[in-house]
Amino acid sequence: MSSATTSQTDAYGPVQMLIDGAWTDGTSGRREEIRNPATDTVIGTVPLASAQDLDRALAAADAGFRRWRDTPVDARSRILHQAAARLRERAPGIARNMTREQGKHYKEALGEVTRVADMISWDAEEGRRAYGRVVPMDNDTELTIIRQPVGPVAAFTPWNFPAGSPTRKIAAALAAGCSIVIKASEEVPATACAIAHCFQDAGLPAGVLNLVFGVPAEVSSHLIPSPVVRFVAFTGSIPVGKQLAAMAASHMKPHMMELGGHAPVIVCADADPVQAARACIAGKIVNAGQVCTSPSRFFVHDAIHDRFLAELVKAAGEVVVGDGLDEGTTMGPLISHRRLQAVAQLVDDARAGGATVVCGGERMDRPGHFYPPTILTDLSPQARVLHEEPFGPLLPVLRFSDLDDAIEQANALPYGLAAYAFTKSATNASRLKRRFEAGILSINHTGGSVHQAPSGGWKESGYGREGGPEGLDGYLITKRVLHKIL
């Protein structure tokens, strides 16, 4: 093992890959810069895997699976619980590094680390409950249904939740008895390394968890076709998800795709406009809006539109945008200059179409990738921000007078990941529950996912579920055994 440390310090890195129980810089000699989005300064580098490194990771996962699947479920559960305990102990240091590499403010990062520790504990217990069943048959026949780990997993995760995205896949795979090769994001690698250290220090056998970084297309095209890989798990954009799903399907690999969205919010006439507006701002500024479930299109009933908008502007003005490690910051920067440009272009397009920029709308004049909460009204139906996932702190506000029409507009896009609604009416709530085309629906709040329940998409936002009892389904194969007793 290299000198990579597991202790909690204020130092960033070093960042390495974990292959077959050893931390390594790999064999390619290639490295990529890691930048702090709050300062746009280089804080470290990340190694990029070679084909040889990936082959070693696959061989390790193959051998690791054979060992891990035969490890008693109680022993597997204990290791996961121990990893969760280590994650909780190291949470402050991990959160500081997450803020440095991703930008979200420290309290948000600390909450993410704490939640994923709880997620590991949840999956540790769900692994014990991957029950089969006995089906009554003839006296000389025994029919059983058993669930077994599907095999080594290839997983790919994005940069916006440096702890949440990788851990969802790692914890579910390990709880089910699978090994995993995971390519975490090169933009936020230190958090993934810290999580892998927690599992390693908890006693996870070598080869069961392998962490790599690399050129995304190179890594996916090498891992997915490999006969070692039995399941593919991906979180990311819809275009990339379609490419990976097609690749997996061409090799008959089952796969789980958690893809992008453009979450509508419907604020009914009977809703409290102040409470709804403040909840919408609170939900929008999480991760500076860089969340696939972020509320992104706001349909507000005419009867309360003006009061809602006034409170929305007031709440937006109270957001403190800054370095996530600064005391008092409530929203950090965007991840990169590329993302900053994409958000600015959506605002420019809306302006060109006649939209009113009620607040925000300009890049902040300071180092780093800062963009303030931006509220848009009077939008053209063709405005790009109404059709493209903004992935930033943009709030386009639209009026409606008929709930059925609002639901129809909300469902008009090909996305179906998350949706939100505010109403005091049980009748309205029932209609929204039935009619929204989304895999996740939140009523009277904009809170995030919970490990006790599944999350996942509908339509082009993907398929498969993470979290809850359903979270292990993709990592398990169901086998029918008909035993004739002689």
Alpha-carbon distance values, 80 to 193, 331, 381 (Å): 16, 32, 49
Tokens linked to 466? 């993470």
Asked if residues 46 and 32 have their Cβ atoms less than 8 Å apart, the reply is: yes
35 backbone dihedrals φ, ψ, rounded to 5°: -115, 145
Which residues sit opposite 345 in a β-bridge?
none
Who's near 317: CB < 8 A, 6+ residues apart?
A: 359
Tokens linked to 128? 């014990």
Alpha-carbon distance values, 351 to 297, 358, 392 (Å): 17, 11, 17
Asked, as a colleague might, if the bond just before 149 is cis with ω within 30 of 0, I would say: no
Give how far the C-alpha of residue 89 lies from the chain's centroid of Cα atoms, to the nearest Å. Answer: 23
In this structure, the chain runs to a length of 486
**3-class SS at 80?**
helix
Q: Could you tell me where the DSSP H helices lie in 90-232?
A: 91-102, 106-126, 164-176, 189-201, 216-223
**Catalytically annotated residue among 126, 258, 389, 437:** 258
User: Within a 10 A sphere around the Cβ of 41, how many other Cβ atoms?
Assistant: 12
Tokens linked to 89? 């102990």
Tokens linked to 172? 């579910």
Q: Would residue 292 show up in a list of annotated catalytic residues for this protein?
A: yes
Give how far the C-alpha of residue 223 lies from the chain's centroid of Cα atoms, to the nearest Å. Answer: 21
**Catalytically annotated residue among 292, 389, 460, 466:** 292
Asked if residues 334 and 320 have their Cβ atoms less than 8 Å apart, the reply is: no
Distance from C-alpha of 437 to C-alpha of 414, rounded to nearest angstrom? 10
- The torsion region of residue 203 among left (phi > 0), alpha (psi -120 to 50) and beta comes to left
Distance from C-alpha of 374 to C-alpha of 72, rounded to nearest angstrom? 53
User: Residue 283: enclosing H or E segment and its boundaries?
Assistant: helix 273-284
Q: Would residue 470 show up in a list of annotated catalytic residues for this protein?
A: no
Distance from C-alpha of 374 to C-alpha of 350, rounded to nearest angstrom? 12
Tokens linked to 198? 């927690």
Asked, as a colleague might, if the bond just before 14 is cis with ω within 30 of 0, I would say: yes
CA-wise closest residue to 256 among 361, 142, 356, 180: 180
Q: Determine how β-strand 41-47 pairs with β-strand 31-36.
A: antiparallel
Who's near 112: CB < 8 A, 6+ residues apart?
A: 95, 98, 104, 161, 162, 163, 164
Q: Catalytic residue positions? A: 258, 292
